[in-house]
């Protein structure tokens, strides 16, 4: 597709359940980022992939959060044993991945709004 897509658009789950959020980046983009945006705040970094490997996962809040990108394209963010505090909008972005030039610009998807009841 022409832009970054994310599914589902909205996800409502119960406390303690497992959820998966999917991101499909712009075709050819090597870098993929996950951010979390709480109400009234700016997005906060979770994890960054360069190709298939997680180049930086320092933003993941705890070991209930995990993300994969097995073929270097689509990525899935996985949250185990969800808590009410996990409720937020989860944003995905992709970029060309090489430092310098317009490839440093990140293009965002529409996000997934996760609500944990």
Partner 1 sequence: AQTVTQSQPEMSVQEAETVTLSCTYDTSESDYYLFWYKQPPSRQMILVIRQEAYKQQNATENRFSVNFQKAAKSFSLKISDSQLGDAAMYFCAYKEGNTPLVFGKGTRLSVIA
Footprint on this chain of partner 1 (rule: CB under 8 A) = 31, 33, 35, 40-45, 48, 50, 55-56, 59, 89, 91, 93, 97, 99, 102, 104-111, 113
Cβ proximity to partner 1: between 12 and 81 the closer is 12
In terms of Cβ atoms closer than 10 Å to its own Cβ (0-12, 13-18, 19+), residue 110 is middle
Query: Closest Cα partner for 23 from 90, 105, 103, 113?
Result: 90
Cβ proximity to partner 1: between 48 and 65 the closer is 48
Rounded least distance, CB 77 to partner 1, Å: 14
Cβ proximity to partner 1: between 8 and 16 the closer is 8
Contact status, residue 20 vs residue 77, Cβ threshold 8 Å: yes
């Amino acid at each position: 597709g022409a832009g970054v897509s994310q599914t589902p658009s909205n996800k409502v789950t119960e406390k303690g359940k497992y959820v998966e959020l999917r991101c499909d980046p712009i075709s050819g983009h090597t870098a993929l980022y996950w951010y979390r945006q709480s109400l009234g705040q700016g997005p906060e970094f979770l994890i960054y992939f360069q190709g298939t490997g997680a180049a930086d996962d320092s933003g993941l809040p705890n070991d209930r959060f995990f993300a994969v990108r097995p073929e270097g394209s689509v990525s899935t963010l996985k949250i185990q044993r969800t808590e009410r505090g996990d409720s937020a909008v989860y944003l995905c972005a992709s970029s060309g991945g090489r430092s310098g030039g317009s490839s440093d610009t990140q293009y965002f998807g529409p996000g997934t709004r996760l609500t944990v009841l």
